[in-house]
């Protein structure tokens, strides 16, 4: 399944777009406020609440012990057998989600029309989804790379309320650094996630799809569900430059003298081939893929996520 931001907006989506104001978002200090603002604004626009009750299921009995909650006593059984039993319940098993965020140097790019750099947008989306997941009693964890050494930084999934602060602190500490480090991040993700989980993957994917394909395949092979949020800037999608300039690669430091009028067609052709290759890859692996533009509202990405979660339920 693949969606694209270029599909026509529905009336609901237009309403949601009015809610999203980058200036208001910028005025909110702290990632937790921004995450809540984004997610609550999004949920308020939906007709059907995505939250579902926390149900419990009866498991068995055990002998009453002094100090046990009297509400869980089975009075009927007491009437029948004249003995006190306490009911035990089996808690509903929720999902384990992992936020995997790419911090390659290319994620630092911010176009003139964008409301944030690619990493900032990915960070905000990840924070909003984490907030939502923890409210749903799902377990949320995280995998990133350490800035200097590229060692993995792993947060074990948990349902505790303190988990939100832990993830948000790590998200706020993310800084773009180094060259292409996406393949290494995927390699660590495959190695660190053992139990069946849902992986929310945030990246610009500006690396050859062949080098990434093996790791995505391994993730699927291990039974993980993957949602890929590809964060791209308008400049990368449309190449709107006009003046001749020296372009310098954020990851490799290479330089080229580019005359946009002459290079635009070649660039767009190459970029579309690149996108098509990725879409083919994700379609073959049955991985939902969503392009998030840094100059647009994030509702599409959130809607994709909710749809997938409902499907997993």
Partner 1 sequence: MAFSFLNPWLWMGALALAAPVWLHLRRRVETNRLLFSTLRFLDDSPRPRSSPLRLQDVLLLLLRALALLLLVGAFAWPYLQEASRLVIRESRVYILDNTLSQQAANRFTQDRERLVTELTRAGEDIQIAVVELTDQPRALVALSDSREDARRRVRAIQPSFRRGAYLAAFRMAQSLLANSLGERKRIVFLGDSQANQWKENLTTPPFLEQVEVELSRPGASNAPNLALSEAQWQRIFLGDKALLQLGVNLACSSPASNATVSVRSGQETIVTRSVPLAGQPGIVALQAQWEAAPGRWLQGEVTVAGEPDALAADNRVYFTVPPVREGKVALLAQSPYLRLALSPEVMRGRWAARVLDPTRLDGEADAARQAEVLVLESSYLQSTEVRTLVERYLNNQRGVFLVVNRLGLAAGAALRDLGFEVGRPGQAKPEQPERIEYFVSNHPIFRPFLSADYGKLLDITIAQPQRIKPLEGMALLFSSSGEGLFFQGTRFPGRLFVLGFGLDRGQSSWPSHVSFIPFLDLCLQNARPGETTPLDYEPGSTALVTPPPDAAVKEVVLRDGQRELRRSPVVHGKAQVRLPDQPGIYAMSYDNAPEPERFISVNPNPKESELTYLEAPEALKLWKLERQGRAADQVALGSPARISRAAMLEQRIWWWLLVAGMAGLLGEMIWTQLRPQHP
Comparing CA positions, the residue from 102, 104, 99 lying closest to residue 142 is: 99
- Closest CB to partner 1 among 249 and 286? 249
Smallest gap from residue 108 Cβ to partner 1 (A): 8
Residues 6+ apart with CB under 8 A from 70: none
Smallest gap from residue 275 Cβ to partner 1 (A): 11
- Under the rule (CB under 8 A), what is the footprint of partner 1? 106, 108-109, 118, 204, 206, 233, 235-236, 241, 243-252, 254-259, 263, 266-267, 270-271, 274
- Closest CB to partner 1 among 206 and 226? 206
Smallest gap from residue 246 Cβ to partner 1 (A): 5
- Closest CB to partner 1 among 83 and 256? 256
Smallest gap from residue 251 Cβ to partner 1 (A): 7
Q: For residue 72, give the DSSP letter.
A: G
- Closest CB to partner 1 among 206 and 301? 206
Q: How many CB atoms lie within 10 A of CB 125?
A: 25
Burial (0-12, 13-18, 19+ Cβ within 10 Å), 87: middle
Smallest gap from residue 3 Cβ to partner 1 (A): 22
Smallest gap from residue 88 Cβ to partner 1 (A): 55
- Closest CB to partner 1 among 115 and 299? 115
Q: Are 78 and 84 in contact (CB under 8 A)?
A: yes
- Closest CB to partner 1 among 51 and 247? 247
Smallest gap from residue 52 Cβ to partner 1 (A): 40
Strand partners, 198: 97, 225
Smallest gap from residue 247 Cβ to partner 1 (A): 5
Strand partners, 256: 247
Separation of alpha carbons 5 and 70, rounded Å: 55
- Closest CB to partner 1 among 54 and 247? 247
Evaluated on CA atoms 142, 146, 150, 156, the torsion sign reads negative
For residue 31, give Cα distances in angstroms to 20, 28, 109, 125, 130. Answer: 16, 8, 20, 10, 11
- Closest CB to partner 1 among 75 and 247? 247
Smallest gap from residue 298 Cβ to partner 1 (A): 19
- Closest CB to partner 1 among 64 and 274? 274
Query: How many Cα atoms sit within 13 Å of 239 on the Cβ side?
Result: 17
Question: In the sheet where 96-101 sits, what is the strand order?
Answer: 152-158, 139-145, 96-101, 198-203, 225-232, 289-293
Give the residue carrying structure tokens 């991040």: 185
Strand partners, 201: 100, 228
Return phi, psi of residue 300, to 5°.
Answer: -60, -40
Give the distance, in angstroms, between the CA of residue 307 and the centroid of all CA atoms in the same chain.
13
């Amino acid at each position: 399944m693949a969606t694209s931001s270029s599909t026509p907006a529905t009336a609901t989506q237009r309403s949601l777009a009015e809610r999203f104001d980058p200036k208001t978002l910028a005025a909110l200090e702290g990632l937790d406020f921004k995450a809540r603002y984004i997610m609550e604004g999004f949920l308020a626009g939906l007709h059907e609440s995505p939250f579902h009750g926390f149900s419990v299921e009866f498991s068995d009995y055990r002998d009453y012990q002094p100090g046990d909650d009297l509400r869980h006593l089975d009075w009927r059984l007491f009437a029948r057998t004249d003995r006190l039993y306490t009911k035990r319940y089996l808690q509903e098993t929720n999902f384990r989600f992992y936020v995997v965020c790419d911090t390659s140097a290319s994620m630092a790019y911010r176009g003139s029309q964008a409301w944030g750099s690619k990493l900032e947008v990915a960070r905000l989306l990840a924070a909003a989804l984490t907030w939502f997941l923890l409210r749903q009693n799902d377990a949320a964890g995280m995998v990133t790379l350490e800035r200097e050494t590229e060692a993995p930084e792993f947060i074990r999934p948990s349902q505790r309320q303190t988990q939100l602060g832990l993830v948000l602190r790590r998200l706020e500490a993310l800084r773009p650094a180094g060259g292409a480090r996406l393949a290494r991040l995927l390699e660590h993700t495959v190695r660190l996630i053992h139990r069946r989980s849902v992986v929310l993957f945030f990246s610009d994917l500006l690396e050859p799809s062949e080098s990434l394909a093996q790791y995505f395949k391994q993730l699927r092979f291990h039974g993980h569900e993957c949602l890929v949020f590809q964060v791209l800037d308008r400049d990368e999608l449309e190449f709107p430059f006009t003046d001749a300039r020296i372009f310098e690669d954020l990851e490799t430091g290479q330089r080229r003298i580019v005359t946009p009028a002459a290079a635009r067609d070649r660039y767009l052709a190459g970029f579309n081939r690149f996108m098509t290759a990725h879409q083919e890859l994700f379609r073959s692996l049955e991985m939902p893929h969503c392009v998030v533009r840094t100059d647009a509202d994030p509702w599409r990405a959130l809607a994709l996520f909710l749809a997938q979660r409902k499907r997993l339920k």
